[in-house]
Amino acid sequence: MGTFFDSFPSPDPLPPPRPLLPWQGPAELTFGGFVPLRAVLVDTESVLVVVDRLLAHPTGLEFTVLVARRHASDDLADPLDWGQHRGNGGLDPPAEVLRLGIAYVDGRKASSLARPPHWEEENPKDPVLVMRSGHGSRGRWEKQYWLWPLPPEGPTGFVVHWPAEGVDEWRVDVDGAAIHAAADQALALGDG
Amino acid sequence: MAFDRFIAFPEGFEFTLLVWSPNEPGRTLPPFPHWYWDRSSPEIPPDVIRLGVTYPDGRRATNLNWLADVQGLNREGPVLYPLDEAGWQPHWEQEYWVGPSPPPGPVSLVVEWPAHHIAETSVELDGAAIHVAAAEADVVWS
């Protein structure tokens, strides 16, 4: 019987998890209000990009981006994940990366290409768009995003640009009032 | 535990089970059976969340049969199996698919979590609301 591994001290217990900062995701134990909107950003002969399942919180907006190729594909590389397309290490996103952005009515912007704030940053200067979860492969992907902060009332633009698919920059506005009305319906349970 | 984010389709519906479990500092895996248990063992671990659905006509499904359901072995249905997941201790989010679409009438969701002394508990869904939402589903490509 070996003693090598037993000779290491037991690790200290993990500290309690820290609540998410507002730009990192919805507050714990809050349930977003449903926004009855669906935005088709791209609908070509080859690809479809749809924003769906919008849930509004007082602190931000959850939504799902669906990307689908019309024809069967062996493409395993996620078009929304720049990390899978870095190739030889270039600093500019290659054409295969789907660029996604949000245009606030007051001129502020968020982009899927922007470098996220440092994890400890409590109050980033600019809006933040982060991918929280998702799945997909072989020509179909679904990704859940968190946008912080909640856009102000007024038209909120979803902007897409996908050079490899011949999709020039394109913007679809959704109703900011509907987002705010849904945020008013968000439910907070407990004290988190 | 809470159910949220119900999305209805003509073929069935999705929902998300949200779990807030701050008193499990040692847990590293989500508390759902598909993470580490495939029913090859007769014992159901007490720390997995049992989840079930009952249709108005009495048919039932459970996440304990997720493997057969996701492999298409449960041809009679209904099926209940996991989709996307998110979160980390102490907050877990697990999406589930239920199909086919239930017949009209109330649909029950049932949970039990022995490790936390949560006895079998059910909530009733308005089946009509599921059908109304399914009628709003869009087919973008056909």
| Residue A144 contacts residue A68 (beta carbons within 8 Å) | no
How far is the C-alpha of B101 from the C-alpha of B4, rounded, in Å? 18
Which A residues 81-120 touch B at CB under 8 Å? none
Domain assignment of residue B30, yes or no: no
Q: What is the CATH number of the domain that holds B72?
A: 2.60.40
Quick one: pLDDT band at residue A125, thresholds 50, 70, 90? very high
Is the pLDDT confidence value at B93 over 70? yes
pLDDT of A192 reads 43
Q: What is the CATH number of the domain that holds A119?
A: 2.60.40
Is the pLDDT confidence value at A80 over 90? no
Domain assignment of residue A192, yes or no: no
Residue bearing the bigger pLDDT, B36 or B33: B33
- Residue B126 domain boundaries: 2-21+47-134
pLDDT of A88 reads 44
Provide the domain count of chain B: 1
Rg (alpha carbons) of chain B, rounded to whole number = 15
| DSSP annotation string for chain A | ---TGGGSPPPPPPPPPPPPPGGGSPPTTEEPEEE---EEEEE-SSEEEEEEEEEEETTEEEEEEEEEESS-----S-TT-GGGG-TTT-SSPPTTSPEEEEE-TTS-EEETTSPPPPTT-SS-SS-EEEEEEEEEETTEEEEEEEEESPPPSSEEEEEEEEGGGTEEEEEEEEEHHHHHHHHTT-EE-S--
Is the pLDDT confidence value at A76 over 60? yes
Domain assignment of residue A5, yes or no: no
Provide mean pLDDT across the span A143-148: 96
Is the pLDDT confidence value at B9 over 50? yes
B18 touches chain A (CB under 8 A): yes
Provide the domain count of chain A: 1
How far is the C-alpha of A162 from the C-alpha of B85, rounded, in Å? 27
pTM as predicted: 0.83
Contact B20 A190 (CB under 8 A): yes
Candidates A20, A34, A35, A42: best to mutate against B (most CBs of B within 10 A) is A34
**Paired tokens of A24:** 């990192």
Quick one: pLDDT band at residue B40, thresholds 50, 70, 90? low
Q: How distant is the Cα of B94 from the closest Cα of chain A, in angstroms?
A: 11
Which range is least confidently modeled, A44-48, B51-55, B62-66, B89-93? B89-93
Name the average pLDDT for chain A.
Answer: 88
Contact B84 A16 (CB under 8 A): no
Provide mean pLDDT across the span B101-107: 94
Residue written as token pair 């001290």: A9
Domain assignment of residue B141, yes or no: no
Is the pLDDT confidence value at A89 over 60? no
Which range is least confidently modeled, A44-53, A62-71, B70-79? B70-79
Give me the residue from A17, A43, A55 closest to B89, CB to CB.
A17
Domain assignment of residue A6, yes or no: no
- Residue A96 domain boundaries: 32-187
pLDDT of B38 reads 60
| Residue B62 contacts residue B52 (beta carbons within 8 Å) | yes
Most confident option among A14-28, A62-76, B88-102: B88-102
| Residue A57 contacts residue A30 (beta carbons within 8 Å) | yes
Q: How distant is the Cα of B58 from the closest Cα of chain A, in angstroms?
A: 30
Domain assignment of residue A14, yes or no: no
Name the average pLDDT for chain B.
Answer: 88
Domain assignment of residue A82, yes or no: yes
How far is the C-alpha of B59 from the C-alpha of B56, rounded, in Å? 7
